[in-house]
Amino acid sequence: MSDVEKLRAELKALNSEYAKIKTLPPEERGEFGRTMNQKKQKLLAAIEQAEAEAENSTVEALDISAPTAPNQPIPTVKRGTKHPLMTELDRVIQVYSAMGFDVMESRQLDDEFHMFDSLNFPIGHPARDGYDTFRTAEGFIPPAHTSTMQHRALKKYKSKLEHGGQIAVVIPGRVFRNEDVDTTHEHTFYQCEGVFVSKDATMGQMFGVLKHFFEAYYGQKLKIKTQPGYFPFTEPSAELLIEKPASLGGKGGDWLEMLGCGMIHPNVLKIAGIDPETYHGFAWGGGIDRLAMLKYGLNDVRYFESGKLDFLEEF
Q: Residues 119 to 148: which contact other proteins by CB under 8 A?
A: 122-127, 129-130, 134-138, 140, 142
Q: Which H or E element spans position 198?
A: strand 188-198
Provide the minimum distance between the beta carbon of 33 and other proteins in the complex, in angstroms, as a whole number: 47
Quick check: 73 binds other proteins (CB under 8 A)?
Answer: no
Q: What is the largest CA-CA distance in the chain?
A: 122
CA-closest candidate to residue 174, choices 96, 92, 287: 287
Quick check: 162 binds other proteins (CB under 8 A)?
Answer: no
Contacts of 181 by beta carbon, 8 Å cutoff, 6+ apart: 187, 302
* 122/273 with CB nearer other proteins: 122
**Segment near other proteins (CB under 8 A); pick from 14-22, 26-34, 43-51, 216-224:** 216-224
- Cβ atoms of 285 and 147 within 8 Å: the answer is yes
* 20/135 with CB nearer other proteins: 135
CA-closest candidate to residue 173, choices 198, 152, 200: 152
One residue of 46, 50, 86, 298 binding other proteins per CB under 8 A = 86
Torsion-angle region of 228 (φ positive above 0: left; ψ -120 to 50: alpha; else: beta):
beta
One residue of 50, 226, 248, 302 binding other proteins per CB under 8 A = 226
Residues 227-286 that bind other proteins (CB under 8 A): 227-230, 232, 235-239, 243, 263, 265-266, 280
**Segment near other proteins (CB under 8 A); pick from 8-16, 42-50, 66-74, 304-312:** 304-312
* 47/222 with CB nearer other proteins: 222
Quick check: 108 binds other proteins (CB under 8 A)?
Answer: yes
Burial of 63 (0-12, 13-18, 19+ CB in 10 A): exposed
CA-closest candidate to residue 265, choices 126, 123, 141, 117: 117
CA-closest candidate to residue 171, choices 196, 188, 137: 196
* 32/255 with CB nearer other proteins: 255
Quick check: 82 binds other proteins (CB under 8 A)?
Answer: yes
Quick check: 296 binds other proteins (CB under 8 A)?
Answer: no
- Cβ atoms of 21 and 30 within 8 Å: the answer is no
Size of the site for other proteins (CB under 8 A): 91
Quick check: 200 binds other proteins (CB under 8 A)?
Answer: yes
Quick check: 29 binds other proteins (CB under 8 A)?
Answer: no
Radius of gyration in angstroms for the set of CA atoms belonging to the chain, rounded to a whole number? 36
* 7/133 with CB nearer other proteins: 133
Each as own residue / partner, the long-range contacts of residues 221-226 (CB below 8 Å, 24 or more positions apart, any chain) are: 225/255
User: Residues for the chain: how many in total?
Assistant: 315
Quick check: 107 binds other proteins (CB under 8 A)?
Answer: yes
One residue of 26, 70, 75, 204 binding other proteins per CB under 8 A = 204
**Segment near other proteins (CB under 8 A); pick from 11-19, 42-50, 55-63, 205-213:** 205-213
Provide the minimum distance between the beta carbon of 204 and other proteins in the complex, in angstroms, as a whole number: 3
